[in-house]
Structure 1
Amino acid sequence: MPENNVQRSPLLEEFRTRQNRGRKFELHDVLGSVVEFSSDQHGSRFIQEKLTSASDEDLQLIFDEIYPKANALMTDVFGNYVIQKLIENGTDEMRSKLVESMRNQIHSLSLSTYGCRVVQRALDYVEPEERLNIADELRDQIIPCVRDQNANHVIQKILERVSPTSQIDYIPQAFRGNVYSLAAHCYSCRVLQRIFEFCDKAQSRPLLEELLEDADRLMRDQYGNYVIQWILSKAGRNEKDRIIRLAKGNILRLSKHKFASNVVESIIAAASEEDRYHFIEEIMLEKPIAAVVMMRDQYGNYVLQRFLELAEGQQKQKLVMLIKPVLNNLKRSSSGYTKHLVAIERLLDTTTTRNNAATMTNNPSHSNAGMSSYQ
């Protein structure tokens, strides 16, 4: 009996059996059963492969058979892939018909695990006017969609594919007054990043200002920290500096936080040389020495590693001399000597090796000795 009590036609049973025995099926062998094949794991894969290289005549035959059942296939676990292939490989007329069949159903399809994939594929391939029609059906459902595990991907795709974004201004408008809660949400935080990436300044600037007002809280948020990191990576210098200023005097506190520690690493990378110098000076302060506390902290140690990688010259030597005795004591006691401390020790050893090599290179006696030996 077929698995999961699925009733299959004799043709599909024969296909599943004989495919494993080397028999080659062609499209003309399954005509009349294309919809059933599309809903079957193995049959769907077969139809997808054939659609990629089908002749115009065969493509039309498959489309004509699938089209009446297209909506059901769009939300089917295997059928949705066949619809996506038709969108990719079909004619403009076929794509338009499929989009027309989706009319007034974009919202329900976007909420569907499989339907949302079809909507996204359509947005990649249809004409600009059709993209706008798809987007417009979600106009009054933006907030529920960006919070949905499936529909948020559709909104992201709309932002990526519709240009100019002034045509979909209702998306960034829906975020106004809601930036903190949406930035701190596991799905809508992704959409907010796409708004910053694709919308023009007139649309994104108010949202960015709203975000920066809550930057300190968002640094420490499970999802908001990703939005702050995006700003540090992609935004303008002024926006980056506003976040960097929030970290001054707070490096130890933020570095010991599970989520904010990731932001601090991004801050270190985005900071100017001058700001980075002051941050390193900050972690070498006494009572207690922040660098030592960070070294032993499960999150702060990663931040300290970034500082060790980017510190330079005498300041780096000072930081190494501050940490190394404490690290050696921990190693001797073997108490709490974790893999994180091993990573820090390697960085210290690398720094020591480079410093020794630099000293030898700059010492004339060593240089002359090397030349004599070579001659």
Structure 2
Amino acid sequence: MRPGRRDGGDSGIALRSPLLDEFRANKARKWELRDIFGYIVEFSGDQHGSRFIQQKLESATSEEKQVVFDEIVPNNSLQLIQDVFGNYVIQKLFEHGTQVQKTVLANTMEGHILALSLQMYGCRVVQKAVEYILPDQQGAFVRELEIHVLRCVKDANGNHVIQKLIERVAPDRLAFVNTFRGNVFDLSTHPYGCRVLQRCFEHLPEEHTRPLLDELHRYTINLMQDQFGNYVIQFVLEHGQPQDQALVISKLRGQMLQMARHKFASNVCEKALVTADAVSRSILIDEIITPKQDGVSPIVTMMKDQFANYVLQRALTVSEGEQQELLISKVRPQLASMRRYSSAYSKHLISSTYSTLVK
């Protein structure tokens, strides 16, 4: 970097070149990429300079892109990949570079994939690279992370890289998925692990996901009640194979009232009512309608509960025919007495779906 004035920044005291000073001060001038050749690395690490390079790379000539590339790769690529502003320039090189440039740029990352995946800005570049590099190089990235995959899954940055690999890399290269076996409950109840599992179910073929799903089904009721696990169960209900959806719904039978009153499981109850086939939905709603052996009406209990009331509203909207008429007839007498309750959710109920459906 050429000598210039001192400027404070995140990395402490840095020298800023006169050219970058002029660029930041003179917005009226029509700047072109060639005006900053020789200063690409410095500009990439500056908020305004980085944005300028990003914009120009989208329409740059092959020759201009090569100059930018040569100033960055290989000596400065790792530095910029991990930089708050520089990482965006590297991402643009993956988007707009030639395949040879993408390969060479990714080569400079090899041997550092784990460290980059765990780094706030590096993880974004690794994800972008995975989208644009060739399959063999994707495989090289995977191999660097394989023995560290659970660490990455549970990392705030690394989990995004693992998700991207699952989305973009051929399943036969993703042997690390076997590491998830025996860890399904642990991953499902983790804030990042639950996302990774959902990506597996979304993108991988049956032979990869079946062992994970079979393991998941052993913990269905527990996962419904977990702040993260409930999302995994909802995903299976919404996107899973019919046999997996049916298995989840079968676990709900006999548990609807208890689960509907739970902060997290109530979301699963709603999803089940929406996604179930007509027969299964009818069985679940019958459970809501039918009084318990002690004579207590589930409907009354649900109307007064801060979570279950949403499940009841959902049942009202998805039920059909005679069953819906019966449900409405059970709800209607309770509305008048509900008006005597002063709690916020009771007031909400009266002005919500109930009032719309129950004339």
- Bin of the TM-score, shorter chain as denominator length: over 0.9
- Deviation of 1:339 (Å): 5.1
Equivalent residue, structure 2, for 1:69 = 76
State the AA in 2 paired with 1:157.
K
Equivalent residue, structure 1, for 2:56 = 50
Equivalent residue, structure 1, for 2:335 = 327
Q: C-alpha deviations, 1:17-69, integer Å up to 9, x for none? A: 111xx222111211111111100111100000011110111111111111121
State the AA in 1 paired with 2:111.
N
CA 1:51 to 1:212, structure 2 compared with 1: closer, same or farther past 3 Å? Answer: same
Distance in 2 between residues matched to 1:247 and 1:275, nearest whole Å:
10
Distance in 2 between residues matched to 1:85 and 1:295, nearest whole Å:
54
Which of 308-317 and 100-109 deviates more? 308-317
Alignment of 1:19-58 (within 5 A): 19=27, 22-58=28-64
Distance in 2 between residues matched to 1:105 and 1:59, nearest whole Å:
25
Equivalent residue, structure 2, for 1:213 = 218
Equivalent residue, structure 2, for 1:141 = 148
RMSD of Structure 2 on Structure 1 (CA): 1.7
Q: C-alpha deviations, 1:233-254, integer Å up to 9, x for none? A: 1111111111101111111110
Equivalent residue, structure 2, for 1:60 = 66
Q: What 5-or-longer segments of structure 1 have no aligned partner?
A: 354-375
Which of 263-272 and 338-347 deviates more? 338-347
CA 1:122 to 1:128, structure 2 compared with 1: closer, same or farther past 3 Å? Answer: same
Distance in 2 between residues matched to 1:344 and 1:255, nearest whole Å:
19
Distance in 2 between residues matched to 1:8 and 1:349, nearest whole Å:
66
- Deviation of 1:3 (Å): 5.7
Q: C-alpha deviations, 1:172-221, integer Å up to 9, x for none? A: 21011111111111111111111122222222111110110111111111
Equivalent residue, structure 2, for 1:264 = 269
Q: What 5-or-longer segments of structure 2 have no aligned partner?
A: 1-5
TM-score by length of 1: 0.88
Equivalent residue, structure 1, for 2:306 = 298
- Deviation of 1:324 (Å): 2.1
Instruction: Tell me the number of residue pairs that the alignment of Structure 1 and Structure 2 aligns.
Output: 347
Equivalent residue, structure 1, for 2:315 = 307
CA 1:11 to 1:3, structure 2 compared with 1: closer, same or farther past 3 Å? Answer: same
Alignment of 1:97-136 (within 5 A): 97-136=104-143
Distance in 2 between residues matched to 1:194 and 1:228, nearest whole Å:
13
The percentage of aligned residue pairs carrying the same residue is 44
Structure 2 residue 283 is the aligned partner of structure 1 residue 282: no
- Deviation of 1:315 (Å): 2.1
Equivalent residue, structure 1, for 2:3 = none
State the AA in 2 paired with 1:63.
F
State the AA in 2 paired with 1:41.
Q
State the AA in 2 paired with 1:270.
T
Equivalent residue, structure 2, for 1:94 = 101
Counterpart contact for 2:226–2:265, Cα < 8 Å:
yes
Alignment of 1:92-241 (within 5 A): 92-163=99-170, 165-169=171-175, 171-241=176-246
CA 1:138 to 1:340, structure 2 compared with 1: closer, same or farther past 3 Å? Answer: farther
- Deviation of 1:132 (Å): 0.7
TM-score by length of 2: 0.92
Structure 2 residue 256 is the aligned partner of structure 1 residue 251: yes
Larger relative helix fraction: 1
Distance in 2 between residues matched to 1:323 and 1:219, nearest whole Å:
26
Distance in 1 between residues matched to 2:114 and 2:132, nearest whole Å:
19
- Deviation of 1:352 (Å): 4.9
- Deviation of 1:284 (Å): 1.9
Structure 2 residue 352 is the aligned partner of structure 1 residue 351: no
Which of 40-49 and 24-33 deviates more? 24-33
- Deviation of 1:285 (Å): 2.6
State the AA in 2 paired with 1:279.
L
- Deviation of 1:349 (Å): 4.0
Q: C-alpha deviations, 1:245-296, integer Å up to 9, x for none? A: 1111111110111110111111111222122222222112333211121112
